[in-house]
Structures are given as structure tokens and as C-alpha cells.
Amino acid sequence: MTREHSDLLKKISGVPGSVASKEAIYLYELAKKCKGGAIVELGSWYGRSTICLGLGSKAGYGVKVYAIDPHTGSPDQRTYQKINTFEKFAQNIKNAELESVVEPIVATSEEATKNWAQPVDLVFADANYYDYEETKKDFFRWSKFLTPDGVYTMHGTVPSVSGILEGIPLHGWEGPRKFLKDFVFGSKNLRIVAIKGTMTSIQKTEKLSFLDKIKNRAFQLKSAMLRINHKIYLSLTSLPQPLKKTLKVFFS
């Protein structure tokens, strides 16, 4: 791990969120490369992933990170009470010294896209993570703004045992998983460029090359293996503690 990655993880260590270390570093590196368009984050919560994107942008070309969130809390929080996460989000961004890079948009994804006209280099989608229809709508709302080399990165597409062992419940979500199955794996113009933790990154192209088709199939197999790996891990959690420690090293 590099020093800048270590510094990144220290800065997000006290910020709640569902982005594990591997994912945080990946978002940082994606943002660091952005220079031809904006960075759009769908779902900011308390700003854990926003800080990763902001620090990455600051270390790269300094493009704006538009953090879109109505700040009414996650679905499980809204079940029990009304909540507003913006104040804590804003404080976390200030603590990370990212106010010049991060521009909050307090709105839903649908509301924000109505007046959007900028080209986008990177979309990180972590809103409506449980819902297939909203996952699909977010992709088609925002992917049309991507630059030719732009990347659309979705959270929660596959489970991540290493994330679970880190203390973050990254079991994947049915909505993003089904979206990949229905629209990406067999697509003629969407190619998968990476799977990191629970995240899958997608690029648009006019037509998939033969190599792109092979890579998509390989990523499809990887997704299936990660789900199998997750099921094996869950089935072994009832084992005695000494064996659990051995398994933790293996799955890490």
C-alpha cells in the first residue's frame, strides 16, 4: 500500500459508510485520472466515498465532484425516523479540506439530472442500491453524459468477503446484480472494465470488440465465483473460533 493510500484510509476511518478499503482506494484512483469531465456521485450519506473521490480529484486534475443526495438517510433509517444527514456530511467534507473540490447537490438523482448538461468522466452510483428499477433508471439517466472514456461504477453488484471481514456488511444487492445480468453481460455496447470489492465499472462503446466480449464473459464468471465464495464463507461462520481465524486469513 502506498503512502497516499494509507493517508486516504486514515482520513475516512471515522466516517460511517459502506465503502471498504479496497473500494476506497479504487475510487481514489479513478477520480485521480479524471480530467475531461465532472465526477458525479449518486448517494453520499455521510461522505465516506465522497472523500475518496475528492481526495483523488485533488491529487489529480482537480475536477469538481458533484455529490448528489437528498440527505434523508438510508432506507433503513427512514423506516424508524425522519433524518437529515447533510450537516454531518458537510462537516466531514470540511474536515477533509475538500470544500473547494466537492459541490453538494441536495436532491434526488432524478431531480439533479433534469438540469444537468455537463460532460461526466466518472459516475459512482451508490443510491437506491436495493432497487432494480431505480438502479436501471440511474444508469440510463447518467450514462448519456459520459465522455468517450468515461466510467460508470456501481456499488453493491457482487458480495465482498474481504469487506465483510473488515467489518462492513458487503453482501451485494439484488438490484445492481440483476441489472448487470439483464443489460451488461450480454450487451453489444457496454464493456466491463473492472470488479473491485462489490463495485463493477462499465464503459460505453459503439460496438464491443471480440476481446471486449471475452472480457465481459470473464467478468461474468468472476461475479459468479464471488457469489459462490460468499456462500461458502457464510456456511462456515458457525465453525469454532480457532478455525474462523484461519478462514479469515484465507478469505482476506
pTM, entire model: 0.92
Give pLDDT, residue 248: 61
Q: How many residues does this entry show for the chain?
A: 252
Q: Are 170 and 160 in contact (CB under 8 A)?
A: yes
Give pLDDT, residue 232: 85
Q: Which of the four pLDDT bands, split at 50, 70 and 90, describes residue 81?
A: low
How far, in Å, are 54, 63, 80, 128, 194 from residue 76 at the CA level? 27, 33, 7, 12, 29
pLDDT digits (tens, 9 = 90+) for 189-213: 999 999 999 999 999 999 999 999 9
Q: Which of 191-195, 226-230, 242-246 has the highest mean pLDDT?
A: 191-195
DSSP-assigned states of every residue in 120-145: EEEEEE-SSTT-HHHHHHHHHHHGGG
Could you tell me which of 180, 93, 87 has the C-alpha nearest to residue 136? 180
How far, in Å, are 138, 214, 221 from residue 218 at the CA level? 25, 6, 5
How far, in Å, are 51, 124, 145, 202 from residue 36 at the CA level? 20, 16, 12, 17
Task: Reduce the DSSP state of residue 175 to 3 states and report it.
Answer: helix
Instruction: Retrieve residue 51's grid coordinates.
Output: 472523500
Other Cβ atoms less than 10 A from the Cβ of 199: the count is 26
Q: How far apart are CA 252 and CA 250, in angstroms?
A: 6
Other Cβ atoms less than 10 A from the Cβ of 34: the count is 25
